[in-house]
């Protein structure tokens, strides 16, 4: 079982096979050092943001390992409870436990002290399903990329949009925001304040209060002025599901009429602290509009990291971005390796 070592190698080393050649070339070496430095910075954000989840999960696993000196049914019952309590759905937990049992038989593992790596390995395997998980945003150069952002009130849409726009601007992209949440008083102003803070252009409602017309104006402006990215903020809740459905339908129609293969991303923002409740809300959204991925916010505020697995299982969607704090720089592209490392760092050597 070398799962943790392999994970660390993937995260912190560039390409082991070229190690010898690399050291000869100082320019390459410098470039590699820069990449590693950047990577470490990102991983560190995961490590800091996932502190609550990690401490909670690792502590429980370590306690379980010390409490039992044999791996038996009682051990598995307690493990099952820990996994369920960390927001992994019951069906997935059953699956993970089944896989762990199979593995310890093959590897002939009898001591609970050696099981943590098997647990992590199986959780990882369930997520990837032995295939490569692509969580990149569908953004291309030389076209207008339209990103529609939806989700319930307070899930973190507007904040995420500001963080995302800020990231794009830092990467020299020309970004326009569309304030299409005309339902909630104060929503436009909130996005406006962010746009000023990050130095980003914004389209606000003109005469009418119709979100679709804001979107129309925003697309016109983006096309005319060669923007790279248009991000659309939407209302979290309307009077009822039909209204929400109609509004999102209308917005999508306007977008498609102007750019047939857009929106290039329809991201659902999900508050990680809401657990199963958030998952049910997400299912409602999935029924009313097509989605391309999840932004999981407030991961820093919860102690339950298992929700990432449950999202994939129950919504059949991947987490593409993860919110690890309230500040502008606290949004990261989702990396399964960094996430798992942030969740279990220290668990293997008992040093949480
Ligand atoms: N700790 C933490 N807080 C977050 C994160 N993302 C958003 N928030 C906070 O969540 C709160 C709600 O965020 P908003 O961006 O206003 O949520 P919204 O979905 O736009 O809400 P409505 O406009 O009411 O629909 C704010 O206080 C944010 O600072 C995160 O990743 N971590
Ligand atoms: Mg908002």
Residue 350 or residue 71, greater confidence? 71
Residue 327 or residue 206, greater confidence? 327
Give the DSSP per-residue string, 262-284.
--SEEEEEEEGGGHHHHHHHHHH
Cα dihedral across residues 65, 71, 73, 74: positive or negative: negative
The CA 229 to ligand 2 mean position distance, Å, reads 19
Nearest alpha-carbon partner for 322 in 339, 310, 306: 339
- Helix, strand or coil, per DSSP, at residue 178: strand
Q: What would the mean pLDDT of 79-87 be, rounded to a whole number? A: 94
Give, for ligand 1, the residue of 326, 331, 334 to mutate: max count of ligand atoms closer than 8 Å to Cβ: 326
Alpha helices in the chain (DSSP H): 3-12, 19-24, 26-49, 51-67, 73-85, 90-107, 116-128, 157-170, 187-198, 211-224, 241-258, 275-288, 307-315, 336-344
pTM assigned to the model = 0.92
Phi/psi zone of residue 327: left (φ > 0), alpha (ψ -120 to 50 degrees), beta? beta
Residues 224 and 41: their CA atoms lie apart, in Å, by 37
Q: Are strands 145-150 and 229-234 parallel, antiparallel or unpaired?
A: parallel
Q: Which two tokens stand for residue 2?
A: 């070398």
Q: Are strands 331-333 and 319-323 parallel, antiparallel or unpaired?
A: antiparallel
DSSP run (H or E) holding 331: strand 331-333
The CA 233 to ligand 2 mean position distance, Å, reads 7
pLDDT band at 33 (very low <50, low <70, confident <90, very high): confident
173-209: pLDDT as tens digits: 999 999 998 888 788 999 999 999 999 999 999 877 7
Q: According to the model, what pLDDT value does residue 14 have?
A: 67
Q: What would the mean pLDDT of 81-102 be, rounded to a whole number? A: 93
Residues 314 and 92: their CA atoms lie apart, in Å, by 10
Q: Ligand 1: does its nearest atom lie under 6 Å from the Cβ of 155?
A: yes
Q: Ligand 1: does its nearest atom lie under 6 Å from the Cβ of 121?
A: no
């Amino acid at each position: 079982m070398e799962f943790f070592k392999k994970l660390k190698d993937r995260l912190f080393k560039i390409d082991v096979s070229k190690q010898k050649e690399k050291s000869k070339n100082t320019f390459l070496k410098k470039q590699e050092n820069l990449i590693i430095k950047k990577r470490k910075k990102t991983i560190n954000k995961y490590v800091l943001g996932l502190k609550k989840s990690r401490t909670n999960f690792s502590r429980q696993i370590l306690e379980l390992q010390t409490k039992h000196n044999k791996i038996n049914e009682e051990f598995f019952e307690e493990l099952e409870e820990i996994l369920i309590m960390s927001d992994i759905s019951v069906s997935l937990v059953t699956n993970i436990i089944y896989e762990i049992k199979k593995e310890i038989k093959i590897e002939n593992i009898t001591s609970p002290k050696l099981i943590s790596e098997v647990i992590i390995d199986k959780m990882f395997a369930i997520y990837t399903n032995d295939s490569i998980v692509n969580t990149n945003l569908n953004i291309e150069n030389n076209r207008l990329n339209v990103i529609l952002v939806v989700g319930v009130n307070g899930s973190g849409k507007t904040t995420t949009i500001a963080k995302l726009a800020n990231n794009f601007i830092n990467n020299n992209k020309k970004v326009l925001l569309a304030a299409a949440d005309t339902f909630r008083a104060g929503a436009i102003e909130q996005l406006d304040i962010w746009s000023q803070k990050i130095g980003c252009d914004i389209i606000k409602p003109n005469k009418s209060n119709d979100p679709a017309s804001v979107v129309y104006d925003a697309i016109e402006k983006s096309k005319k002025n060669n923007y790279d990215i248009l991000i659309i903020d939407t209302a979290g809740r309307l009077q009822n599901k039909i209204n929400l459905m109609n509004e999102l339908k209308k917005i999508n129609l306007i977008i498609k009429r102007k750019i047939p293969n857009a929106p290039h991303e329809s991201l659902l923002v999900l508050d990680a602290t809401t657990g199963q409740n958030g998952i049910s809300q997400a299912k409602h959204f999935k029924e009313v509009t097509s989605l391309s991925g999840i932004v999981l916010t407030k991961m820093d505020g919860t102690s339950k990291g298992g929700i990432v697995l449950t999202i994939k299982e129950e919504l059949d969607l991947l987490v593409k971005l993860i919110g690890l704090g309230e500040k502008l720089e606290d949004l990261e592209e989702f990396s399964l390796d960094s996430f798992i490392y942030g969740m279990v760092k220290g668990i293997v050597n008992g040093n949480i």
